[in-house]
């Protein structure tokens, strides 16, 4: 790869939070209230939190696909490239594409904790 073919920093990347994100990064006292992934009858993985449901938006998981294949799928983690939700796989994808840095935007914006 030539230097002129490299993207130094990608400023509009999107990712899907990994299904075990809150299991790994929250203190035990908050885990029961944390967002969770559930599988719908249609086979879609969705986040649930405080009675709200947020789809795992497919447009956040189109890494490695040609632009003409962008759409609302994939809708489950099984259909996604692991680089869409696994940091180590993301680095491999970035290296393959010549991306040295990335500003990654989250999926779960808008979920709100109920105040008691």
Compute the mean pLDDT over every residue in the chain, rounded to the nearest whole number. 80
Q: What is the pLDDT of residue 59?
A: 67
Instruction: Please name the residues in contact with 89: beta carbons below 8 A apart, sequence gap of 6 or more.
Output: 81, 82, 83
With respect to residue 114, please indicate whether it lies within any of the assigned structural domains: no
The domain containing residue 67 runs over which residues?
3-105
pTM here? 0.74
In a domain, 57, yes or no: yes
**Longest pairwise C-alpha distance within the chain:** 56
Q: Number of folded domains in the chain?
A: 1
Residue 115 has pLDDT above 60, yes or no: no
C-alpha to C-alpha distance for 62 and 58, rounded to whole angstroms: 7
Condensed to tens digits (0 to 9), the pLDDT of residues 31-74 reads 888 989 999 999 999 889 888 888 776 666 766 667 787 777 78
Q: Is residue 96 a part of any domain in this protein? A: yes
């Amino acid at each position: 790869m030539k230097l002129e073919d490299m993207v130094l920093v990608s400023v509009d990347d999107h990712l899907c939070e990994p299904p075990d994100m809150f299991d790994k990064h929250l203190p035990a006292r908050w885990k029961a209230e944390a967002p969770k992934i559930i599988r719908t009858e249609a086979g879609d993985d969705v986040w649930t939190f405080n009675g709200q449901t947020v789809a795992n938006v497919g447009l956040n998981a189109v890494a490695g696909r040609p632009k003409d294949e962008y759409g609302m799928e994939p809708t489950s983690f099984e259909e996604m490239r692991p680089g869409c939700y696994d940091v180590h796989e993301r680095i491999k994808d970035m290296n393959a594409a010549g991306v040295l840095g990335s500003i990654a935007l989250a999926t779960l914006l808008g979920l709100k904790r109920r105040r008691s």
